[in-house]
Each structure stands twice: as structure tokens, then as C-alpha cells.
Structure 1
Amino acid sequence: MSKNWNTFDVLRHSRHDWLNRLQLIKGNLALDHVDRAKEIIEEIIIQSRQEAKLSNLNAPKLAEYILTFNWCNHLFQLDFEVIGDEYDICIYEADLIELISRCTTVLDSHVKVPSDHHLLLTLQLYHEEIHLVFDF
């Protein structure tokens, strides 16, 4: 982990993220873009469900690494999804963090210009097998 997050840090970053989302919804409603506001709300619901799935894997350090990644200085944004059967992956947690950390470090070192770069990390969980897919 790159940082030890205390409760205050987590609440501050989380509050900032939620205020940004609410401002997007409010701005779209003010412009009478109701359909776009509904899309943003649906995106928030989907993201919250993905966060819950990640949290249900009994890998709290992995969840912390992924959920706080965008709060640190990176030249790209990390998005994630969990697909498949939710089960306890705690025995793989350290290895998964190491692998994801190495991959994101390599990407950080090769991205030179800050732009709208995104990495989608997909954790595919099937029959007690874990597959990671990195889509940059």
C-alpha cells in the first residue's frame, strides 16, 4: 500500500467524490438534461454494487488498494469490475495486490502526458479461479 489511510482521510476523499457526483446530477438537472442525470445515478448504483462485490471477497487490503487508487497521484484512472462468483479470496490477497501494483506502476512509468487515460481492471471469479483482465 502506498499510504496508510486514517478515518479522516477516507471520509474527506469520499465526501469529495460524492459532492462531485451530486454536482454533476444537479448541473444536468439545472440544464434540463434529466436523461443524463438519470444515467449518472445509474452509473453510481452500478459502481456501488461493484464496490460491494469487491468488499465481499474477504480481501480488505485489496479492496482498500483498488478503492483508494484514484485518490493518489497517477496519470490514469482505475476503474474496476468484479464478475462471477463471490467467494473468499483472502489467501490470494497479497499476490493480487503485488501483481496489480506492479502493473499499475509500469503503466504510470510509461504514461507521459496526463490525459483521460483509464485502466479497467476486471476480476473474473469462476469456480474458485481468479482471472485478472487489464484493459488500458
Structure 2
Amino acid sequence: MINENQLVEVFRATRHDWLNQLQLIKANLALNRLDRIDEIIHQIVEEAQQESNLSNLKAGQLTAFLLLHKSLNNDYPLKIEVEPLTLDLSKEDEAITQSLETLITTIKTLIPSIPILISIYKDDHEVCLSLQLSLGEPLDIGALQQTAASLTMPFDVFQDEEAIYFTMNLHTL
């Protein structure tokens, strides 16, 4: 899982991000740009809320993987959006995490440097995990479809002009 060096690197990256945010607030305060300070604080609170929602899913491996990836992979910036859900994913945690890790590793080998949006949300009678890769142009997704379908927890894949979408059913309600 996570080793001591990775943990220290996560703390370093988190501290660096916090200091950047504080410097932005301080600079905007000096310029009396209170509206911009409000925006920065809103972004900080929103990101903390998303991470809290993720932590509340009782999926320790998934949470650790996503937060580690978010802190350490600048070539693949990760945004996390998680609806506030009362759900225990502890039984599926390892399979979800392994499948997601395999899919992201495949993405990294096929697509250089792309932002990734990960969403966990309730949809009708199920809870889903979705990845969205925003593209500048259509891409041959055959290898990604093959990988996504072969995972322990498989993803459905589709593409439009703007993005590739991967969706996994996490839990049926």
C-alpha cells in the first residue's frame, strides 16, 4: 500500500498546497480583493468537503489511493467529486481499488498527461464510480475498453467528442 516515503511526500505536497492558498489569501487581502478571498476560501472548503465525503464511504484503500494519486501525480491532475452518501464499501474496497488502479495505469500508458475527474454518486437504484477524461480530440479507445471490461469490478466505457467516460456500479440500493 502506502510506504513511509509516499506518506512524507503526501504531507509535503499538502503543506505546499496550504501555503500556496494562504499566500493567495494574503496577497488578495493586501489588494483588498475580498471577493477573490471569498472564492479561494470557498474552493478550500469545497475540496475538504469532497475529501470528507470520500472518507465517509468506509473504503480506506480507495480513499488512500485517490488522495495519494491526487497529491503525487501532477501529470494526471485528479479532481474528486463525491456526493454525501451513507454507505459502507469496506467489503468491495480492495476490488474497487485494484480495478481503478489498473484502469488508471492503463490510461497513463496510452494517454500522456490528462486531467481525470472521478465522481461517486447515486444514480436511481445504484451508487456509481465514474471517471471522465477530457480530450481535445477523439481517441481510439479499444485498449481502454478491453482493460475496463476485464477488471474484477468492470467499467462501462463510452466516448463523445469531448471526453471518455468510465462507469462502475459500486453498490445496488
TM-score (norm 2): 0.65
Instruction: Say what the alpha-carbon RMSD is for the aligned residues.
Output: 2.4
Kindly name which structure, 1 or 2, has the bigger radius of gyration based on alpha carbons.
Answer: 2
SS across alignment from 1:91: coil
- Are 1:132 and 2:129 matched, yes or no? yes
Runs of 4+ deviating beyond 6 Å: none
Determine the structure 1 residue equivalent to 2:119: 122
Offset from partner CA, 1:26-84 (integer Å, 9 cap, x none): 22333333212211100111111111111111111111111111232452201111125
Deviation at 1:14, TM superposition (A): 2.2
Extract unaligned runs of 5+ from structure 2.
134-173
Q: Name the stretch that deviates more: 39-48 or 69-78.
A: 69-78
Match of 2:3 in 1: 4
Percent identity reads 33
RCO comparison, higher one (Cα < 8 Å, 6+): 1
Q: Give the equivalent residue in structure 2 for 1:107.
A: 107
Amino acid at match of 1:58: K
Amino acid at match of 2:130: V
CA contact (8 A) 1:25 1:40 kept: yes
Do 1:123 and 1:132's aligned partners in 2 also have CA atoms closer than 8 Å? yes
Task: Name 2:31's counterpart in structure 1.
Answer: 31
* Between structures 1 and 2, the one with greater helix share: 1
Matched, 1:96 2:93: no
1:13 partner SS:
helix
Is the Cα contact below 8 Å between 1:62 and 1:97 reproduced in 2?
yes
Report the secondary structure of 1:90's partner residue.
coil
Unpaired runs of at least 5, structure 1: none
AA in 2 matched with 1:4: N
Contact 2:14/2:71 (8 A) holds in 1: no
Structure 2: how far apart are the matches of 1:101 and 1:8?
21
